């Protein structure tokens, strides 16, 4: 009896080791399959009262990074430096909600900022053209080097209307522009699948004409429908994020994003939370949304951050409850952020990524000091 027991234990141990080895192989296969994932994240609005559009983009950026996609495979385009705006009560920081739990500016590497964020530069990122501009620094960091093996996440946040998304307050990305760019991506073999998230008014009018294969587009609002912002944050004097983006950020940064399908993700956008009718447009023919894992677009084949690993299952923040309807506003007329080159951390100005990060106050003092020195000279 003792011999039989030992044999059984040995068999169980061998089976456990084989199972562990098989699981390891599966994880390695998954890592190889996802090592070429990319994300393009855009806030197309400037001016202080559009703080929420920048917060939307930075929140998505942080969620994507938490799941292991490195900065070298994230193209982050931010139209205005709200973190250093004099009206910001939290200088050098940004938050997506009033509790100020997570500084979404922390360690953010911005590839395009200020006037660099434009219709042309966005389209060239998608279609592999080298962005145009003065004094280009490390242009290879500003192009998406995706392949036919890449799952590409594209997020756009800004003001829009029927068939267009505004960049700053003077040019528009049309629905045809977006459709044609994705057509070019497909023709050049620049993606395996695309997940497009668009948070703007009448967002469905931008996504419904996309006809390239293997694209899932999730729009924050239907045709002729406003996208809604969160409640006014008294300390900041404005909404800190949009409802659709806040729900998306909450879902994507949680552990359940790694086990959910696209269908599960889409179902999280309830009208009571978002305030608009989320529209889904899919050109994927070989699988349903219930068969496509959200992890396909998130797993960057890097270790998950400890912050994510320690998170429990989360729900949409309670601040969503009872939110007032607050539609898009027209852009104001404040001065825009200056054109700059290279890659930057969120709370720095005119400082390449290789330089030591500075606070907004420090960088402003440096600018003033240089100006005084030049004047004296």
Catalytically annotated residues:
159, 201
b/e map 305-341, b = 16+ CB within 10 Å: eeebeeeeeeebbebbeebeebebeebeeeeebeebb
Query: Is-contact 65 179, C-beta < 8 A?
Result: no
Distances (CA, A) of 246 to 60, 75, 242, 335: 9, 20, 6, 27
Beta partners for 155?
41, 197
**How many of the other CB atoms lie within 10 Å of CB of 58?**
30
Question: Taking the CA of residue 117 as centre, how many other CA atoms within 13 Å lie in the half-sphere pointing to its CB?
Answer: 31
Strands 193-199, 215-219: parallel, antiparallel or unpaired by DSSP? parallel
d(Cα 116, Cα 132) in Å, to the nearest integer? Answer: 9
Beta partners for 157?
43, 199
Secondary structure (DSSP) of 84-124: G-TT-SSTT---SSTT--S-TTTT-EESEEGGG-SHHHHHH
Q: How does DSSP classify residue 143?
A: S
């Amino acid at each position: 009896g003792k011999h039989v027991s030992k044999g059984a234990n040995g068999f169980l141990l061998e089976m456990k080791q084989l199972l562990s080895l098989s699981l390891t192989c599966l994880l390695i296969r998954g890592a190889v399959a996802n090592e070429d994932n990319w994300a393009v994240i855009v806030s197309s609005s400037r001016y202080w009262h559009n703080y929420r559009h920048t917060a939307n983009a930075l929140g998505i950026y942080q969620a994507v990074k938490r799941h292991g996609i490195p900065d070298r495979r994230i193209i982050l385009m931010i139209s205005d430096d709200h973190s250093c705006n004099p009206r910001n009560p939290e200088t050098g920081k940004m938050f997506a909600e009033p509790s100020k739990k997570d500084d979404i500016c922390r360690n953010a590497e911005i590839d395009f900022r200020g006037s660099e964020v434009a219709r042309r530069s966005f389209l060239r990122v998608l279609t592999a053209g080298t962005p145009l501009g003065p004094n280009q620094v490390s242009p290879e960091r500003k192009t998406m080097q995706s392949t036919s093996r890449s799952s590409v996440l594209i997020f756009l946040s800004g003001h829009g209307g029927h068939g267009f998304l505004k960049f700053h307050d003077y040019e528009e990305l049309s629905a045809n522009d977006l459709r044609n760019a994705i057509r070019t991506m497909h023709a050049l073999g620049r993606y395996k699948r695309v997940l497009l998230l668009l948070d703007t008014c009448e967002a469905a009018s931008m996504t419904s004409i996309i006809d390239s294969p293997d694209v899932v587009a999730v729009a924050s609002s239907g045709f002729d429908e406003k996208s809604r912002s969160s409640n006014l944050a008294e300390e900041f004097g404005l909404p800190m994020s949009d409802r659709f983006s806040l729900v998306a950020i909450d879902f994507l940064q949680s552990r359940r994003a790694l086990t959910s399908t696209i269908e599960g993700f889409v179902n999280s956008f309830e009208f009571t939370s978002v305030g608009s009718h989320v529209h889904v447009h899919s050109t994927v023919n070989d699988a349903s949304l219930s068969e496509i894992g959200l992890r396909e677009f998130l797993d960057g084949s890097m270790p998950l951050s400890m912050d994510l690993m320690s998170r429990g299952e989360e729900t949409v923040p309670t601040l969503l409850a009872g939110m007032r309807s607050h539609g898009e506003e027209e852009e104001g007329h404040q001065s825009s952020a200056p054109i700059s080159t290279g890659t930057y951390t969120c709370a720095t100005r005119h400082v390449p990524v290789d330089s030591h990060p500075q606070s907004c106050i420090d960088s402003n003092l440096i600018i003033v000091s240089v100006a005084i020195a030049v004047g004296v000279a």
